[in-house]
Amino acid sequence: MYSIVEYKGKRTGYRCGYCNSHQGKGSNGMWAHSMTVQDYQDLIDRGWRRSGKYVYKPIMNQTCCPQYTIRCRSLHFQPSKSHKKVLKKMLRYLTKGETSKLNSEGEPMDSHTEDTGCNFLLKSEPDTSQSELEPLNIYTEKVESEKEEIKGEIIVTTDSGHTESCNEKVNASLSKPLNPAKVGHAPPKPGKGADLSKPPCRKAKDIRKEQKLQKHLQNQMGNHALQEKAQITQKSEPKTNQPKSIEDFIFVTLPPEAAHQLEVRLVRSSPPSSQFKATFQESYQVYKRYQMVIHKDPPDKPTASQFTRFLCDSPLEAENSPNGPDCGYGSFHQQYWVDGKIVAVGVIDILPKCVSSVYLYYDPDYSSLSLGVYSALREIAFTRQIHEKASDLSYYYMGFYIHSCPKMRYKGQYRPSDLLCPETYVWVPIEQCLPSLEHSKYCRFNLDAKAVDEGNVKELGRVRILHKRTVMPYSVYKRRRKGPSDEESVQQYATLVGQECSERMLLFKS
C-alpha cells in the first residue's frame, strides 16, 4: 500500500480567515490521491494538515498568522475548572433537562476551508483552575502572659460561688455625694472577723488567670477532638479529595428517570460504512444549519457536494492491526445522538500515535451546551480508551494553535500540551513557548541553536516517483525526463515532507 501525492507547490498572497488580511496567507500544498495512516502521522509531525484530500503546510516565517501544530498529552490531562463546568452542565441537561439561559455564542473555531485549514471547534473560557477544597486549618488559641493589671475593677464571689463585677455599683455610687466616713478601708468592728461560712475574697488578677487557663484547656480538648475526627474521616473516605477525571463526569450512569439520553456513535466515513450512508442526509442537514447560523453562509453555499468534499472525503486508507484499536485506523465521524437525533458530529482521524481532530459541527439549537468544549473532552477520553488497546496511541492533536489570533488561543487551555518547533520539528511544552510568542509571531521553539531538522532530505535521488504507472527513484526519472528540469520543485517537496516520507510516498508525475 502506497501513498500517492501530487505536489501543487507554493501559494501566497491570498485571504486569511483568522486576521482577514486579503493577501497575507501563504502555504505549500499537495493533493493526496491516497495516503497511509503512518505517512500522514509523519506529515502532521512536520506541520502538515489535511482538509478533505488536500494536504497543506503553512509557510510559517511568511504567513500573516503562523499556525503551530499542537497536541495534548491525553494520558496526563486533568480538566480545568471551566472544563468541569461544561461537563456538569451537560450532566444537568441529561438528568434534569436543565439548560443554561445564556447561549455559548461566539465560540472560536477553525472553520476555513481547504487551503486555510479546518481544525477543531472549542469554546474559549478563562482557565481559573483552583483547588476546590480548602485545607482544614485547626486554630489553637494561645494563652498570653498576664502583663496588664486590672484597674478600677473589683471582683467578688457571691454566696452561690459566682463571680460578679462591682464596677457598675461603683459607677452608680459616683453620681451621689461622697460620704467622708465611708471613704477608704474601714477597720472591722470589734469582736467580729471574717465569715467562715463564705469563701475568702480573692484578687481579681488571680481569678482572671484561672478563667483564661480553663478556657485554654477547653480549647485544647476541643482541637484534639477535631483532629481525631479529621483523621477518622480521612481513613473512611480516602478518595474524597482526589480530583475527578473526565471519565468520572462522562461515563456516569444516568438514573432511569433521566430527562434525555445521549449516545455517541463512531462511524467510518472513508470508505463510507453502511451506518455512515444511512445517516448521511441527517448529518448533512445539521452541517448546513450550522454553517448558515454560526458562519452566516448563504443557503446555497453549504451544498451536499461541498460537505462531502470538505468533511467526508479522505485520502487515508482504512487499516487494521492486531495491536491497534478495535475500530481500526483511518477517518471517522463521531456522532452525538440526543433522544434519537443527531445534534453534533466530530470529524476525526485515528492514526498510529494519536486521535487527530479535523472539525466539529452541531445543531445551533444546542449551543447552550458548549458542544465544542464537550466534544473535545469526549475525544480526549476516547483517546485514553483507545490507548488501553493500542499502547502507542496516546496523543490528542487539536490542529493548529494560532497565538497571533486571540480567539484561537483556547487550545492552549487543554494541558499538558506541546507545540511543534517549525524548524527542527521537535515538541516543546507550550509553557516554554508562550513567552517567545508574546514578542514575535514566528518563533523557533528549540533552544538548542545547533539543532537541525534531523529528517531533512539528504539524498534527492532516492525520492520515489510514479510516472506512467511505473515506480522509480528520482535519479532514474531525471535521466529519462525530457524538457525543462523540475529538480527545484522536487527538492522543495522532499524538504517539506522529509527524507523518510519522500522515500515511501509516490510523487506522481504526469
Do residues 2 and 315 lie in contact, with contact meaning Cβ atoms separated by under 8 Å?
A: no
Residue 146's pLDDT is 39
Cβ-proximal residues to 361 (8 Å cutoff; 6+ apart), any chain: 121, 286, 287, 290, 291, 311, 344, 345
Q: What is the residue extent of each domain of the chain?
A: 4-125+247-454
Residue 196's pLDDT is 54
**Residue 189 zone, left/alpha/beta (φ > 0; ψ -120 to 50; rest):** beta
pTM across the whole model: 0.75
Residue 266's pLDDT is 98
| Residue matched to cell numbers 496526563 | 76
Secondary element (H or E) of residue 173: helix 167-174
Residue 99's pLDDT is 85
The beta strand positions in 375-505, using DSSP E, are 395-401, 417-420, 427-429, 464-467, 470-473
Q: Closest by alpha carbon to 344, among 334, 332, 357?
A: 334
Secondary element (H or E) of residue 73: strand 68-73
DSSP label at residue 177: P
Query: Tens place of pLDDT for every residue, the chain, 510 residues?
Result: 899 999 999 999 999 989 999 899 999 999 999 999 999 999 999 999 999 999 999 999 999 999 999 999 999 999 999 999 999 999 999 999 998 765 454 444 444 444 443 333 333 333 433 333 333 333 333 333 333 333 344 344 444 444 444 444 434 444 444 444 444 455 555 555 555 555 666 778 878 887 888 787 777 766 666 666 666 555 555 555 788 999 999 999 999 999 999 999 999 999 999 999 999 999 999 999 999 999 999 999 999 999 999 999 999 999 999 999 999 999 999 999 999 999 999 999 999 999 999 999 999 999 999 999 999 999 999 999 999 999 999 999 999 999 999 999 999 999 999 999 999 999 999 999 999 999 999 999 999 999 999 999 999 999 999 999 999 999 999 999 988 999 999 999 999 999 999 999 999 999
Report the alpha-carbon distance of residue 433 to residue 398 in Å, rounded. 17
Residue 226 has phi, psi (to 5 degrees) of: -65, -40
